């Protein structure tokens, strides 16, 4: 009797648990259905096909046209973020100081040195800036920022930054610099820009010491549709340059770009080699118009030592400063021009074909220093 009662109790309990589970499942399913219905987007009312189309009004403006894609060369202000950040910290502290005292002047000079303006140039800038501030009766530190921009811009004004051409074709530009600074890509970018302007370009592979140099230049020449003149490995670089000028004249090309070696560990031999190439090119009267020194901006003051060697040997007419977008030492431009007396004519601000741009002093200083309100 007792066993039967236990079995009946177990059966009743099982039925109760099954019923309870079914009720909970149904309740959960109902809640999920209600939540899905609430979350589902409400379908818009079906449009009346006989109704007139809606005309945009002041309350319902027409959709905006897509913004045009940016065109033209890159702006220095967009590419010199790292260089600007090097100055921004020091100038920002100066602005927040509020007053001008000796400590403020010391901090500003240190900021210029950290940006690789150079000791001599920084001292000259500070002396001129003190004179400007005194003449203007400036006592607020924030007012020094526009005065600094004016001083730096004035120091860069007046230089001849044009790339010169001969009166009669062909024009020759000799490209020099140590290995690794970007000579080959600079030549490719120059050739590409000239080709887009409709000029016929001959590239001379006068770095015959390295077989890879001629191969790399050949690849770039093909890519930008320039004509290549090269010699065998170990050939006389002067002879290659001479052949390139002769080829340009016979083919009606307007520009010859001469690539050269850059082995600074054999400095004496290298400089003699470059002097010889220059003499060979000058046999065509008036053809040689530019000797462009390619410098890597990331090397900072160390690059000036190399630059002096080339300037003394081959009479550099202009500097191409590569990788300016990748350095916090953007003040090197001021040091180059003050130290060497040679203008920066082109700057590289990226890897793209259009990222070699003419140097603009005002745009450069504005990008480097910024405004007091944004520091």
Q: Give residue-wise pLDDT tens across range 299-344.
A: 888 888 888 889 988 999 999 999 888 776 788 899 999 988 999 9
DSSP-derived 3-state class of residue 205: strand
Tell me what pLDDT residue 175 has: 97
- Asked if the model's pLDDT at residue 56 lies above 80, the reply is no
pLDDT value at residue 82 = 66
- Segment 168-173 mean pLDDT: 96
Taking residues 20-42, report their average pLDDT. 45
Alpha-helical segments (H) within 141-298: 144-156, 183-196, 211-224, 237-251, 267-281
User: Please, what is the average pLDDT of the chain?
Assistant: 80
Which two tokens mark 11? 């059966």
What confidence tens digit (pLDDT) does each residue in 67-112 have? 344 455 666 666 676 666 667 777 778 788 788 888 889 888 988 9
pLDDT of 117-166, one tens digit each? Answer: 889 999 999 999 999 999 999 888 888 889 999 999 999 999 999 999 99
What would you report as the CA-atom Rg of the chain, rounded to the nearest whole angstrom?
35
Note the CATH architecture for domain 171-322: 3-Layer(aba) Sandwich (3.40)
Residues of the chain with CATH 1.20.120.140: 76-156
Handedness of CA 34, 36, 42, 46 (dihedral sign): negative
Top-level CATH class of 76-156? mainly alpha
Q: Higher pLDDT residue, 101 or 221?
A: 221
Q: What is the pLDDT of residue 306?
A: 80
More confident call, 14 vs 90: 90
Above 90 in pLDDT, residue 227? yes
Above 90 in pLDDT, residue 258? yes
- What's the confidence (pLDDT) of residue 225? 95
The pLDDT value given to residue 38: 41
Beta strands in 260-354 (DSSP E): 288-296, 318-322, 344-348
Whether the pLDDT of residue 210 is over 90: the answer is no
pLDDT for position 197: 93
Give span(s): CATH 3.40.50.300, the chain. Answer: 171-322
Peptide bond into 41 cis (omega under 30): no
Angle between helices 211-224 and 183-196 (to 10 degrees): 20
């Amino acid at each position: 009797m007792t066993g039967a009662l236990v079995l009946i109790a177990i059966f009743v309990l099982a039925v109760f648990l099954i019923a309870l589970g079914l009720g909970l499942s149904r309740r959960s399913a109902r809640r999920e259905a209600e939540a899905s219905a609430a979350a589902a987007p409400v379908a818009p009312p079906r449009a009346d096909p006989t109704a007139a189309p809606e005309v945009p009004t002041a309350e319902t403006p027409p959709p905006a046209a897509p913004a045009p894609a940016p065109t033209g060369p890159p702006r220095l202000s967009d590419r010199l973020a790292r260089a600007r950040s090097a100055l921004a910290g020091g100038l920002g502290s100066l602005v927040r100081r509020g007053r001008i005292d000796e400590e403020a002047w010391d901090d500003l000079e240190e900021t210029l040195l950290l940006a690789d303006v150079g000791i001599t140039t920084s001292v000259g800038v500070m002396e001129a800036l003190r004179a400007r501030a005194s003449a203007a009766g400036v006592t607020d530190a924030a007012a020094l920022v526009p005065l600094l921009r004016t001083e730096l811009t004035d120091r860069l004004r007046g230089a001849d930054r044009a790339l010169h051409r001969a009166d009669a074709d062909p024009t020759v530009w000799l490209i020099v610099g140590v290995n690794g600074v970007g000579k080959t890509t600079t030549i490719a970018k120059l050739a590409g820009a000239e080709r887009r302007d409709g000029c016929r370009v001959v590239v001379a592979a006068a770095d015959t010491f390295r077989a890879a140099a001629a191969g790399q230049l050949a690849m770039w020449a093909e890519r930008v549709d320039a004509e290549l003149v090269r010699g065998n490995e170990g050939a006389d670089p002067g002879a290659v340059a001479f052949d390139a000028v002769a080829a340009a004249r016979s083919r009606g090309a307007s520009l010859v770009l001469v690539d050269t070696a850059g082995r600074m560990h054999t400095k004496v031999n290298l400089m003699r080699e470059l002097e010889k190439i220059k003499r060979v090119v000058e046999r065509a009267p008036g053809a040689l118009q530019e000797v462009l020194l390619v410098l890597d901006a990331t090397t900072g003051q160390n690059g000036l030592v190399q630059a002096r060697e080339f300037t003394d040997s081959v009479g550099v007419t202009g500097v191409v400063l590569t990788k300016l977008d990748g350095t916090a030492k953007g003040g090197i431009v001021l040091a180059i021009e003050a130290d060497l007396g040679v203008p920066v004519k082109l700057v590289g601000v990226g890897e793209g074909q259009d990222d070699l741009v003419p140097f603009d002093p005002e745009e450069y200083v504005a990008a480097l220093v910024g405004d007091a309100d944004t520091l």
